[in-house]
Every structure is written in structure tokens, then in C-alpha cells.
Structure 1
Amino acid sequence: MFKRTTLRTGAGLLGTLFLSGCANHLPQRSEHEERIERKLLAHSLQIDVGEPPVLELPQRRVRIHEQKTFEVTEFEVTRRYDRYTPYQPWRELYEVPLGVVAVVAGVGANVLNVIMLGRLPDTVTKDWISYGFAGLNPAMNVESNGRSEQNLADLAENQLDKRMEYSSLPWAERPVLVKAGDTTHELITDRNGVLRLNLLDEPFAEQDLSPVATLVLSVADAQDEARTDATLTVSRTLRGKLQEAHTLIYDDLEDDEVEHWVHRVKRLSDLGLEEEASELEQSLIELTRNDPELQQEFLSRLMKDAGRLAADPGSD
């Protein structure tokens, strides 16, 4: 009884070994690559409110930059893989016959190689025999690169370089909070990181800015704690002009007489708001483009009463 059990156990182990087989190991494969690590060391924001520090005109371009300091480390990474051909029992149906042929052919090639004084290549004299014995082995398949598998055997990293890098980029198309008195407005910079402030335009146009002596500009990066503030002083003289200038610019134009149009342009110029005067002037020229007679009357009176020479930029 003991012998039967032992024989059955041994037969079972041999059967399991035969069915599972052995992997046919192939030469190791290596991969080489370079990897770069960038570690952020410092991040700061900078607001340049421009000159002069006191706002005397309603328009100002504010430039905003973000500055970063990185520690950059370069590595050379080498990965080595163990490669093998997984065992599939059914392949022995054709590998064994082919193995017999390969062994016979390999032996014949070696005999011929002796006669030819070793002139035959190793792929004939050695590889055929190696292939043949692998094919004859019932517990191993022959090598196959086409269906090979691999496992990571070793990972090595070699540091090549470590350096500091600095960047200064515009705060492009990002939000800026502008606090005017008790009201906070959110504005957006352009792609060059420039914020175009205009106290006569939205969102300031509907706010009474006469008691607002300072504008506080704030920017912050939501990804970390980088933030900064800057203060821009609004002069008392400018605050006294804003309400009148707003009326001159935004009151209805179409129901006004030409004389009042000229007065509004001239008054803006007298207030020292030359840019706003020119913009209103061009708006009125555009408004009268389809009425050449009215446009000509406006241009004539503009020259006569305000001493301003203007022309329709769209005319030939």
C-alpha cells in the first residue's frame, strides 16, 4: 500500500512538472533613458504698478510676473529585464520532430565544418544543435523572441547633473483682485500678463470713486501659498475729475446736438484726459459715418471751437 501511494505521488509530481514545464531563458535586455526631476524651491509673484506711483490719469497698465526657482537633477536610468520563453506543452507536438531534424543537421554540419577547417558559422554548427536539444526536451520549449516575456530584474539610477534653474513668466490670463474702497473687483490679465486698469470703464464705471484714495491689487496662486499685494494711490485731483468725465463719456450721444458733442470732447481734453477725448472723438466720427453731412459739420465745428483736427479713419 505504501509503495502504491509513493508511486502515485511520484507520478503526479512528474506529470505536474511535465505539464508546467520550464521557461527557456533568453539573454537579458537593457533599457537606458535619461530622467529629469524638477523640484520647486521658491515661487513668488511680482506686481509692477508702473510710474508714477500716484495715479493722475484714469488708465494704467500694470504688469504682473511670477518667478520660480527649481532644483533640476538629471539621472541616467538603466533597467535590466530577465527574458524567457513561457512553456506551452502543445508546442512539443512539432518541436520534438523538429528537434530531431535539427540535431541530425547540427551533427552533420559539425562534421562538415571539420572537413572545411572551421569555415562554417556558429549559427550552423552550434545553434542548430542547441535548438535541437531544446526541442527534444519535453519540459522546455525552444527560444522564441516573438512570444517572449520579461520581468524587471534590476533598476539602477546614476545622477548626471544637478543645477538651479530660474524662470520669470507673465501672469498670463489669470485673475487679479482689485479692492476699491469696500468693493472688490476681479479682473483678468492679458496673455502678456498686463492688467489694463481704466477707472472710467467697467467694473469701476458705476462705482463712486471719489472717496477711494487707494487701489489694492492682489494676486495669488491657488496651487501653493504664493501671493502678493500692491497699492496704487489715486490722486485727489483725478478723483475730482472722474464723475464729470464719466458723464461726458457715457451720457447719450445720439440725442445731443453737434455743439454739445464738441463741448464734451473739448472738456475732456481740458481736464487733461486726452486719451479719453480722442476715443470719444473717434466714436462720434464712427457714429456719423453714414451721414456725411452731419459728420462734416461735426469735424468743422471740432476744428473751429476746439482747435482739434480729426478725420474719418475709414475714409479713402
Structure 2
Amino acid sequence: MFKRTILRPVGAALGAALLLSGCANQLPQRSEHEERVERKLLDHSLQIDVGEPRVLELPQRRVRVHEQKTFEVTAFAVTRRYDRYTPYQPWRELYEVPLGAVAVVAGIGANVLNVALLGSLPDSVTKDWISYGFAGLNPLLNVESNGRSQQNLAALDEQRQDARMEYSSLPWAERTVTVKAGENSHELLTDRNGVLRLNLLDGPFAEQDISRVGTLLLSIEDPQSSAKAEASLLVSHTLRGKLLEAHGLIYDDLEDDDVEQWVHRVKRLSELGLEEEASELEQSLIELTRNDPELQDSFLKALTRDAGRLVADPGND
């Protein structure tokens, strides 16, 4: 008697636990297919093209910088298989049990009718109704539901399909190039095309005595891959002799000079072979005299007469 008294509440508790926990209703497995591409960096190098000749005879030079990368590209076919199921929710049994009973009766009737119709009814009527009905009548199982189904990854399969080498060459765009001139180092930026415009009469070089520098050392480094490159440019003895004089012609105060001295500066830069610098100074002086038409006209006539330069009339611009 004592044992029966203990076993009854234990059995009731187990039954209640089974009722609450229930079982998941397994659904057909689902598969996903995709292609995955894996790119592995094999080599990364940087290159500095200082151009020709390697000896600077003019203060300006366009230096091209680019980076090259080599990748191993591998394509994979990926298949993921998922186990799908309908999670158990006890409260759904309140309507699934009576609907299940109806479905079983309807399914039995459909099978009887199907015999008379020589099997012309579809399986969705003769078989699915029966399956739905018995799942609904089972208090530990919910009927299948795609709308609230859940899934777990059951298997992952990757098949290697193809492997190839891929090469890229891109400009070192808007990146830093270190230029060492004598004891000074300058951080310069390339443009969007990876071109560094060196001008020994402009920028940071104008602030030091560049006439004493015989070699420019250019270096770049990518901190992410530790790739680096170096290149050098020699500054010719002739150019170094011109730089000191040219610096004074360009940067000495212009406003204290007269027209004759302005013309001398432009003419002398041209005589030194620095035609680009001569043209830039010429345009700067034309802009400086824009608000004094008489002075500007005098300067333009003197350029033509004394320096033999053909200058467009700024009034026609």
C-alpha cells in the first residue's frame, strides 16, 4: 500500500513532464548551395619609378609609385544541410486534438471513397489527412508547421572547384613617400594616380639649402604587410649650382623691385634653363599688377622688348 501511494504521484509527475516537454515534429531536411571564393595573398611588393635619367638636370620630376599583389584565388562549392522541426508547444493541443479527430475521420472517409473512385483522389487527401489527424491526436506532438519551423545545421560540405593565380597592379594613391634630402626627411603625398611631384624649388625643399644635396633617397612602406621599397635620384652638379641662384630669383621680395628687376628675374630663370619656373614667376607678376593696369602694361612691354618673351594680353583672358 505504501509503495502504491508513492508511485501514483511519481507517475503523475512523469506524465505531466512528458506532456509539457513533448516531442519536436521533424520536417524534411533543407539544403542551401552557394559558391565561395577565397583569396590568399602570396606576394606584395612596392615599386618606385623615378623615371629617366636617374640624374636630375631640372628641379622638377614626376615619380610614379605603385603596388603589386599576387593572390591565389580558390573557388568552393558549399552545401549546407539543415535539420528542420516544429517545436512542441503544449497549448496548441487544445485545438489540434479535436482537429486531428476530424482529420482522421475525414481521411478514413476519403480512403473509402477513393476505393470506389478507383484511386483517383490525390495523396494529399487520402494520406496527408490521416497523417495530420494522428499527429493532432498525439498529445506529445504538434502537427507539422512550416510557418513556425526551426532548423539546425546538420552538415557542411565544401568542394574545391577551381584555383587560379590573380595579379593586380594599383597606384600608390594618396599615400606617404619619405624623401630624404641630406640630413632632412620630408613626408610627401602622392596624388590619386600614385604620382609624386618633386620640385626642389617648392614645398619643403625651398626651406633648406638644397644646393648642398647630391642625392635624394625615396622610400615607402606598407605597415600592414611590411612591404617596402627604396629608390634614389642624383642631383647633378650643374643643377645644384642653379638652385641657389634660382631660389633667390623666385622667393626674394618682389614688391620692392621695379619693372626692370622683374624682367631680369624672369629672363635669368629662362637663361638657367628653368623655363617652367620662369613662366610661373611671369604669371605671378602679371597677377600682382592686375589692379594697376599702367604698371602691368609697362611690365608686359618690357618682357617683350628686353626678354624677348611673347606674353598674352591678360585683358583678353
TM-score category of the 2 structures, normalised to the smaller one: over 0.9
For 1:10 and 1:133, how far apart are their aligned partners in 2?
25
Give the superposition deviation at 1:293: 2.3
For 1:233 and 1:169, how far apart are their aligned partners in 2?
27
| Alpha carbons 1:181, 1:215 under 8 Å: kept | yes
1:23 aligns with 2:28: no
Give the superposition deviation at 1:313: 5.7
Q: Which residue of 2 aligns with 1:307?
A: 308
For 2:107 and 2:65, how far apart are their aligned partners in 1?
78
CA RMSD of aligned residues (A): 1.4
Q: Which residue of 2 aligns with 1:190?
A: 191
For 2:252 and 2:212, how far apart are their aligned partners in 1?
23
For 1:300 and 1:257, how far apart are their aligned partners in 2?
14
Q: Which residue of 2 aligns with 1:156?
A: 157
- The 5 A counterparts of 1:215-294 are 215-294=216-295
Percent of aligned pairs sharing the same letter: 78
For 1:313 and 1:216, how far apart are their aligned partners in 2?
41
Letter in 1 for 2:92: R
Q: Write out per-residue CA displacement over residues 182-227 of structure 1, whole angstroms, 9 at most, x where no aligned residue.
A: 1110001001100000111111101011221100000000102210
Q: Write out per-residue CA displacement over residues 212-256 of structure 1, whole angstroms, 9 at most, x where no aligned residue.
A: 110000000010221011010011111111121111111222332
Between 1:279-288 and 1:296-305, the stretch displaced more is 279-288
For 1:195 and 1:98, how far apart are their aligned partners in 2?
80
For 1:196 and 1:113, how far apart are their aligned partners in 2?
89
For 1:276 and 1:129, how far apart are their aligned partners in 2?
96
Give the superposition deviation at 1:161: 0.3
Provide the secondary structure at the position in 1 that maps to 2:210. coil
For 1:265 and 1:119, how far apart are their aligned partners in 2?
105
Q: Which residue of 2 aligns with 1:62?
A: 63
5+ residue gaps, structure 1, are none
Q: Which residue of 2 aligns with 1:131?
A: 132
Q: Which residue of 2 aligns with 1:173?
A: 174
Change (3 A) 1:308 1:207: same
Change (3 A) 1:74 1:312: farther
| Alpha carbons 1:286, 1:312 under 8 Å: kept | no
Q: Write out per-residue CA displacement over residues 129-168 of structure 1, whole angstroms, 9 at most, x where no aligned residue.
A: 1111111110011111111111000000000101111111
For 2:121 and 2:294, how far apart are their aligned partners in 1?
104
Count the aligned residue pairs.
316
| Alpha carbons 1:265, 1:281 under 8 Å: kept | yes
Give the superposition deviation at 1:10: 3.1
Provide the secondary structure at the position in 2 that maps to 1:63. strand
Between 1:115-124 and 1:144-153, the stretch displaced more is 115-124
